[in-house]
Chain A
Amino acid sequence: MTHYKEADYYDLLEVRPDALPAEIEEAYKRQMELLSGESLATYGLFVADDVVHFRQRVEEAHRVLSDPARRRAYDAAAGFADATAEAEPEAAVAAGAPEALVAHEAGAAPQTEAVPQAEVVPQAEVVPQAEAVPQAEAVAEAAPVAPPVTMSGGPPEGEAPEPVEAAPPAEPAQEPLRVPGPGALPPFGPPSTEATAEAAVAPDAGAVKPAGDGERFDGPAMRAVRERKHITLSSISQNTRIAEYYLEYIEAERFDSLPPPIYLRSYVRQYAAAIGVDEDRAVDEFLARYNDGRNGKS
């Protein structure tokens, strides 16, 4: 849990990123009650004006998370996309980074300033992955009807919906492969690193070799990538609202000073997105190192 000024929307409501709509409503009610000024738990705690701002943030969190489309967009932009497995590429692009959408639709050349936008939108790389899963296309055609839990009005036009998610209803043979329920793992297996790396680094790909193929995703390696790209920690901190010192701890692998995995996951994901390295691998490998580091100590 983080201070309300820095907390993400899920933190604010104290729900998991895969919370169901009903859970979000309940959590919202609970939080508003706590901030009503009537609650015993906060007696003598707040100074009048502060609670107003706090309440506004909780309301804002609720507005976004209770609206499926806005929630998907937020998830994509803030790096929660893998939690709600049915996140669609368009939604992500649309709300996460409008500029990217324009470029995408117009088929424009990649932006020269590749740093923030392209990388904040992990879903942009979904297309090549769809090809990596051969059955997906066939399935998508066979069953374009609403995928299991989609909260939007239906699948987007023009592009195949998230392939693996859509698969099961049409093809029972795929069932065992699916990871069901909330908290589902990212729908794809080992990500296609080349595609991701290319997309992320865009024009100056030749000059900058990101952590990726064969390279480790440890703190120092990612720091090296960031420094080569001249991305400052403070700019990442501003965009992600992650306190700068946490970013430093990630790079320095100061595991004892980092928050618990449930938050760390999202921090590493956002950080990886911001420096344009493969987020899934960064999260997996960093958390593995984190767990080793912590277990080794205690």
Chain B
Amino acid sequence: MRPLNLSEGRAAGGREIWAVGSGKGGTGKSFLTASLGIALAKLGKTVILVDADLGGANLHTCLGMGAIKSSLSDFIQGRADAITDVMVDTPIPHLKLISGAHDILDIANPTHHRKQALMRAIRRLDFDYILLDLGAGTAFNTLDFFLVANKAILTVLPEPTSIENAYRFIKAAYFRYIKTVARELDIRRLVEESMDARNAMGIRTVHDLLERVRQQNPETGRKLAEDLFAMRPRLVVNQVRTLDDVTLGFSMRSSVEKYFGIRMDYAGYVEHDDLVWRSARERKAVVHAFPYASPARCVDRIVQNLVKDTQLELDWVMAKQ
């Protein structure tokens, strides 16, 4: 049922791919990817960060590194034979980086063939954790990287624009998934038509779409429901300032589950802290430079939840107040 690239989400040798995406730029994807990588490396894991933001890469900056000569574009363009040739060390032990393509515009939309080759190469990387920093928005490339991951992490800021786009992102990702896995032509057409928010069939959510698929083909509907039940994006709310910002994650989880018909885990939040901004200005990786400050502690908690497949509990949040 699952397509080639999605079925093998788990990397070779039981390693994990984590992808960090968001509906909108500026939600702290690169910050979070870098920070998660540092936290995992500190746990003694081998980690590679891949800047898969093919249009506007800046993961290296979040790690406190200057411009990097070799990048993913060398591999995509065929100038480097192996993906490991474009891999560089970072100041943090156990942590490596593959920098993104930052100069060639058309690289943001590689051909299907190149994309498949890239995904295969990424999956073969010999690390405990492979972390992908995705571009913002709902481009198919981004969605496919998001869907290929073992842990698909979605970052939002506690503000309307970010949340609105996060929902768009979720919808686009799930609809794309359904379209990719459905073999029947009529079902793929159905998904395409439903992507239009004002479609005549009134399909607006994953739940609506699934109902409709079930009517057209009960067997496909059943299998899809099963697949979707196993998918669980992990939500991270970044730059929280108030308790309401923290509990926002619980409300979002509840809303998408009850209305949209999908499951989502609330992996955690990162408190707003000027330290993040200051560190960025000084080109330091904040969780590395200030391991005991609030951002690092928040990130550690998120890592714990992601590694153990757990999530934030409302009771815990309330007790902490």
A245 close to B225 (CB less than 8 A) = yes
Given contacts A7-B258, A40-B160, A45-B255, 20 further A-B contacts (CB under 8 A): A1-B254, A1-B258, A2-B257, A2-B258, A3-B259, A4-B258, A34-B255, A40-B158, A41-B163, A41-B254, A42-B259, A43-B160, A44-B160, A44-B165, A46-B259, A50-B204, A54-B259, A257-B226, A257-B229, A259-B229
A42 close to B251 (CB less than 8 A) = yes
B164 close to A4 (CB less than 8 A) = no
Asked if B115 is at the interface of the complex by the 8 Å CB criterion, the answer is no
A-B pairs with lowest CB-CB distance, top 8: A44-B164, A41-B251, A43-B160, A1-B257, A4-B258, A3-B261, A43-B163, A3-B207
Contacting B251 at CB < 8 Å: which of A5, A39, A54, A245? A39
Chain A window 157-194, contacts with chain B (Cβ cutoff 8 Å), 1 for yes, 0 for no: 00000000000000000000000000000000000000
From 6 to 44 in chain A, residues with beta carbon under 8 angstroms from any chain B beta carbon are 7, 12, 14, 34, 39-44
**Minimum Cβ distance to chain B for residue A243 (Å):** 8
Residue of chain A at shortest CB distance from B252 = A41
From 52 to 82 in chain A, residues with beta carbon under 8 angstroms from any chain B beta carbon are 54
Knowing A3-B207, A245-B225, A257-B229 are in contact, say whether A42-B255 is a contact too (CB < 8 A): yes
B259 close to A50 (CB less than 8 A) = yes
Main secondary structure of the interface of A (DSSP, over half): loop
Asked if B197 is at the interface of the complex by the 8 Å CB criterion, the answer is yes
From 216 to 260 in chain B, residues with beta carbon under 8 angstroms from any chain A beta carbon are 222, 225-226, 229-230, 244, 248, 251-252, 254-260
**Minimum Cβ distance to chain B for residue A16 (Å):** 12
Report Cα–Cα, A12/B251, bound state, in Å. 13
Contacting A34 at CB < 8 Å: which of B163, B244, B254, B260? B254
Asked if A109 is at the interface of the complex by the 8 Å CB criterion, the answer is no
Contacting B222 at CB < 8 Å: which of A14, A50, A245? A245
Report Cα–Cα, A44/B261, bound state, in Å. 16
Q: How large is the interface on B (under 10, 10 to 19, 20 to 34, 35 or more residues)?
A: 20 to 34
A54 close to B260 (CB less than 8 A) = no
Report Cα–Cα, A48/B36, bound state, in Å. 38
Can you list 15 A-B contacts with CB-CB less than 8 angstroms, sorted by A residue number? A1-B258, A2-B257, A3-B257, A3-B258, A4-B259, A7-B258, A40-B158, A41-B252, A42-B255, A43-B160, A44-B165, A45-B260, A50-B205, A243-B225, A245-B222
**Minimum Cβ distance to chain B for residue A90 (Å):** 34
Asked if B2 is at the interface of the complex by the 8 Å CB criterion, the answer is no
Chain B window 191-230, contacts with chain A (Cβ cutoff 8 Å), 1 for yes, 0 for no: 0000001000000110100000000000000100110011
